Structures are given as structure tokens and as C-alpha cells.
């Protein structure tokens, strides 16, 4: 069996139409409905995964498949401890 390459996205969290998180190399990519807040129970596993990682990108995009038709894209650069 082949091991995933460093740039292969690894899905770590998926809640349809609300929240997705992937690891790509040393980055954590989060795609969430604008309905999902940092303090929501649904977001807690993402907050724990991100930990103290540095946020390097944030934008809101139109997405009719997400709650309220908009999504937030967040990218974090993980430290080696978080990425492991």
C-alpha cells in the first residue's frame, strides 16, 4: 500500500454542508459555513486540531451548497508538533 504524499489532502473532519478540515503537508485547511462559529461544539475538534497554528489565509466565498450559501476558507500553517 502506498503512503500518502506530503501534498495529498487528508480529510480529518467532515460535517456535510457545515464544516470540513483537511491536512495538506504542514497546513490545515478549514472550509466552514458562515453559520459555524469558533465557539460552537461542532467546531471544537477543529479548534483542537489547529491549536496554536498560525492563520495564514482567511476569506469568505459564495457556496450555495453550504448553510446560508456562504463559506469561510481558513488556512493555518501548523508547527511540526501539530502537523505530526
Residue at grid coordinates 446560508: 68
Q: Residue 23: enclosing H or E segment and its boundaries?
A: strand 19-24
Write out pLDDT tens, residues 49-65: 999 899 999 999 999 99
Evaluate if residue 83 carries a pLDDT over 80.
Answer: no
Residue 62 lies in a domain: yes
Residue 60 lies in a domain: yes
Instruction: Specify the number of domains making up the chain.
Output: 1
Strand partners, 15: 19
Write out pLDDT tens, residues 22-50: 999 999 999 999 999 999 999 999 999 99
Residue 5 lies in a domain: no
- Domain range for 42: 10-83
Q: Residue 40: enclosing H or E segment and its boundaries?
A: none
Residue 4 lies in a domain: no
Residue 2 lies in a domain: no
- Chain centre distance of CA 73: 8
Residue 26 lies in a domain: yes
Residue 11 Cα distances to 24, 25, 41, angstroms: 9, 12, 19
Residue 40 lies in a domain: yes
Residue 3 lies in a domain: no
Amino acid at each position: 500500500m502506498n503512503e500518502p504524499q506530503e501534498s495529498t489532502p487528508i480529510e480529518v473532519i467532515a460535517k456535510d454542508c457545515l464544516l470540513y478540515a483537511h491536512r495538506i503537508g504542514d497546513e490545515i485547511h478549514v472550509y466552514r459555513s458562515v453559520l459555524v462559529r469558533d465557539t460552537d461544539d461542532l467546531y471544537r475538534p477543529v479548534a483542537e486540531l489547529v491549536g496554536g497554528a498560525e492563520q495564514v489565509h482567511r476569506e469568505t466565498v459564495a457556496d450555495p451548497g453550504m448553510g446560508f450559501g456562504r463559506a469561510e476558507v481558513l488556512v493555518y500553517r501548523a508547527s511540526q508538533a501539530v502537523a505530526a
